[in-house]
Structure 1
Amino acid sequence: MPKHLLEKAKTLEPLHPNKSTGLFGGESSGILNWNDIAYPHWYKIYKRLIGNYWQADEVNMSGDVRQFSSLTEAEKEAYLRIIGLLSTLDGPQTRTALLLSLYATDVSVQSIMAVIAQQEAVHNESYSYVLSSVVSLDEQNESFQLGRKDPALLKRNKHLIEQYNSFVEEPSMENILKTMVYTSLLEGMFFYSGFAFFYHLARNNKMVGTSTMISYINRDELEHGRFIAELFRATLAENPVFNTKTFTDWVYTHVEKSVDLEMEWSTYVLTDINGIDLDEMAGYIKYRANKMLRMMGLSEIYPEYTENPMKWIRAYVDNFDGTKTDFFEQKSRQYTKTSDLNGFDDL
């Protein structure tokens, strides 16, 4: 594959057309008219994204503050480790979205990526907010150190880190495409064993505030994953030289590696959690991988997992409309805004 390095898009190029001639490596004036863009339906994606606006400290954590001490030791440890995982994944996403936008020569992509970057920043803030609600500053800091120190987490993130850094060092079209593959997997699969843990707690009437927060993050990630998969397909269609067996084999190989690492991580972090079936979780991870492959225009690689084996999760994440009803409790899961930080006025 050619290794031509892309230049960052110019801010304004008045001699170029407003409608971009290419998503990356094309020409565009830098002026955005949403009624004159190369992929008109992306305006709907932009509108859905900005319609998802929320803030971390509007979620009432007072119940979780009272309840955390009553969790089992295994649940507490998994809670802190998974928050550490999620923060490790979401932190770099703000920068990665911005880096992709710097090389995008379609201004609509730049704008959508700006919204995605902002939402990823909110997600990372929410992990700090959640931990500040339930544990001391020392314990918070320890959880956020896991991404740097925990051998299982470092192994889990190794390939993702390598690809993201390769894009920084060599901003080629190939690395942009590969980074989008990993971003699609991150948004659509890597988070999900962690999300499932918090939904499992809420299913058992535990830490419902945290679960509500995760639901809002999950809703955003579904939109991010959908757009990145579309951007990947469109970029590949515009650059058919990369649409080769060698490249698709690379994608399938790295999806399989990612699935294996995710299953290994979920076993490591959830093995002592009562009520979570690790075989079912492995099936769910494969189901999510299949889904992301389909969204990227590729074939499924786990034909036995075309249906969600953890259907109870649908109560928390499918068809999210902002007033989600908990399947088991039949209570509104729309977040409750509080006047003071973390809802401590309700204690």
Structure 2
Amino acid sequence: MSEELLEKAQTLAPGNPNKSTKLFGGEASGILNWNDIRYPHYYRIYKDLVGKYWQADEVNLSSDVKQFATLSEKEQDAFLKIIGLLSTLDGPQTRTALLLSLYATDPSVQSILAVIAQQEAVHNESYSYVLSSVTDFDKQTESFETGRRDPILLRRNQRISEVYNEFTSTPTIENVLKTLVYTSLLEGVFFYSGFAFFYNLARNNKMVGTSTMISYINRDELGHSRFIGELFRATLTENPEYNTKEFTDWVYDQFRYAVEQETEWSHYVLEGIDGINLTEMDAYIKYRANKMLRMLGLSEIYPEHTDNPMKWIRAYVDNFDGTKTDFFEQKSRQYTKTSDLNGFDDL
């Protein structure tokens, strides 16, 4: 199997066709005609993503500012640690999307990854906005230090760092595929125990503003997951020499390891939180892993966890059934321009 390094895509190469010859390692002029792209359905994905533009400081957190001090000590600690986790994951995603776009030779992929990078930047800003609204600077700083200092979180994120940094130093097709696998894990599994914490607060009429913001982030991540799954399958199809049992086994191993790490983290940060059932959370993490494997075109590895064991979560984020309504505020949590392209699979 060739380990030839990919070259960065040329910005403008008029001698090449407008429609790319491959997603990575191909040729394209750099001129993007959305009506003539290699995978026409990518335009629908692009339109859906750009239709969900939002800004952090437009979310009203006035009630949260008053409520944060009334949370239990355990809830406050989990709140700060989980914000630290989310910022640790979303911060590098901005750069990872941009790095992938540099080596993508399909201009439609470059454009979609640019949108994803922008949305990840908004997500990271939102965590700063939440913390600056509810606590003092020292606590904010401590929360953002979690990803650098907490031993559980450091161990949990070790393989993400290794895979992402390996792609940065050695940009090969294999490392593109591995980065897409870990992006899928990050977008579709690693966030979800954290999301559940905020939704659990909201269903107890606590920190509803923060929960609403998290639902916007969650919705974005669903869109990112969908595209990453599409991009992984198409890249693997274009490079069938990597579609081997060895590589498939590697993917399954990463998912099993990720589920173990996410489970350990959820127990560490959520144990003792009123309303969170850790047995259900364990099952939910496996359920999410199964969903992401299906998006990558692979088989489930947890056949006993094909149904969502925490269906109450679906009330807090948009899905294919349409706009969800916040139970307490009784108003739409949707923040998107109207389009016939809207709609996603269930959580």
Q: Distance in 1 between matches of 2:62 and 2:314?
A: 25
Tell me which residue corresponds to 1:272: 272
Superposed CA deviations along residues 84-111 of structure 1, whole A, max 9, x for unmatched, are 0000000000000000000000000000
What's the TM-score once normalised by structure 2's chain length? 0.95
Superposed CA deviations along residues 95-132 of structure 1, whole A, max 9, x for unmatched, are 00000000000000000000000000000000000000
Tell me which residue corresponds to 1:8: 8
Tell me which residue corresponds to 2:330: 331
Does residue 158 in structure 1 map to residue 181 in structure 2?
A: no
Cα offset, 1:330, TM superposition:
6.8
Q: Unaligned 5+ residue runs, structure 2?
A: 336-347
Cα offset, 1:290, TM superposition:
0.1
Tell me which residue corresponds to 1:202: 202
Q: Distance in 1 between matches of 2:307 and 2:135?
A: 38
Higher relative contact order (CA 8 A, sep 6+): 1
SS at match of 1:212: helix
Q: Distance in 1 between matches of 2:61 and 2:133?
A: 7
Q: Unaligned 5+ residue runs, structure 1?
A: 337-347
Q: Distance in 2 between matches of 1:270 and 1:154?
A: 17
Cα offset, 1:175, TM superposition:
0.3
Q: Distance in 2 between matches of 1:320 and 1:124?
A: 26
Cα offset, 1:3, TM superposition:
1.1
**1:296-311 superposed matches below 5 A:** 296-311=296-311
Cα offset, 1:317, TM superposition:
2.0
Aligned alpha-carbon RMSD (Å): 1.3
Q: Distance in 1 between matches of 2:140 and 2:272?
A: 22
Cα offset, 1:321, TM superposition:
8.8
Indicate if the aligned counterparts of 2:84 and 2:147 stay in contact, CA closer than 8 A: yes
Cα offset, 1:334, TM superposition:
3.2
Q: Distance in 2 between matches of 1:44 and 1:3?
A: 33
Q: Distance in 2 between matches of 1:24 and 1:332?
A: 44
Q: Name the CA shift for 1:240/1:46 in 2 (closer, same or farther; >3 Å).
A: same
Q: Distance in 1 between matches of 2:240 and 2:329?
A: 49
Tell me which residue corresponds to 1:38: 38
Tell me which residue corresponds to 2:49: 49
Q: Distance in 1 between matches of 2:217 and 2:333?
A: 13
Q: Distance in 1 between matches of 2:328 and 2:56?
A: 23
Q: Name the CA shift for 1:225/1:335 in 2 (closer, same or farther; >3 Å).
A: closer
SS at match of 2:177: helix
Q: Distance in 1 between matches of 2:253 and 2:15?
A: 43
Q: Distance in 1 between matches of 2:321 and 2:333?
A: 9
Counterpart AA for 2:39:
Y
Indicate if the aligned counterparts of 2:324 and 2:334 stay in contact, CA closer than 8 A: no
Q: Name the CA shift for 1:322/1:127 in 2 (closer, same or farther; >3 Å).
A: farther
Q: Distance in 2 between matches of 1:269 and 1:166?
A: 29
Tell me which residue corresponds to 2:17: 17
**1:49-198 superposed matches below 5 A:** 49-198=49-198
Does residue 317 in structure 1 map to residue 326 in structure 2?
A: no
Indicate if the aligned counterparts of 2:8 and 2:103 stay in contact, CA closer than 8 A: yes
Cα offset, 1:320, TM superposition:
7.1
Q: Distance in 1 between matches of 2:202 and 2:208?
A: 5
SS at match of 2:301: coil
Indicate if the aligned counterparts of 2:104 and 2:110 stay in contact, CA closer than 8 A: yes
SS at match of 1:305: coil
After TM superposition, where is structure 1 displaced by more than 2 Å over at least 4 residues in a row?
Answer: 320-324, 333-336
Q: Distance in 1 between matches of 2:113 and 2:285?
A: 26
Q: Distance in 1 between matches of 2:64 and 2:314?
A: 22
Does residue 245 in structure 1 map to residue 251 in structure 2?
A: no
Q: Name the CA shift for 1:85/1:320 in 2 (closer, same or farther; >3 Å).
A: farther
Indicate if the aligned counterparts of 1:233 and 1:297 stay in contact, CA closer than 8 A: yes
SS at match of 1:118: helix
Indicate if the aligned counterparts of 2:59 and 2:209 stay in contact, CA closer than 8 A: yes
Q: Name the CA shift for 1:299/1:232 in 2 (closer, same or farther; >3 Å).
A: same
Q: Distance in 1 between matches of 2:67 and 2:261?
A: 31
SS at match of 1:304: coil
Counterpart AA for 1:72:
S
Cα offset, 1:318, TM superposition:
4.0
Count of matched residue positions in the alignment of Structure 1 and Structure 2: 335
